[in-house]
Structure 1
């Protein structure tokens, strides 16, 4: 299964509560923190809602 590396590049402070919860649920805490998540429809939906805060890269297996 494909993997996505998600990096928080902008702060979630002063954002809508829903967006802050998505950032927290993905496991992103501080700016420049990164996590690797599976490329699923649910993950893509969450990333779409906070696309202005993150950078997404595809991880090669």
Structure 2
């Protein structure tokens, strides 16, 4: 296995942060909860706050 791809769905918003929860998979959560600054999400999307994120985890060798 050279990478993990995880999908997160929005759980709630705070003043400056959006909280995402990892969607269920075959086993226990790998990351669980993910917090992302809203300004960074708006920069990536051109202004919108996405309902879902896909995160890829790799290891540098």
- Report which of the two structures shows the higher radius of gyration computed on alpha carbons: 2
Q: TM-score, normalised by structure 1?
A: 0.28
Larger RCO (CA within 8 A; separation ≥ 6) = 1
Q: TM-score, normalised by structure 2?
A: 0.28
More helix by share: 1
More strand by share: 2
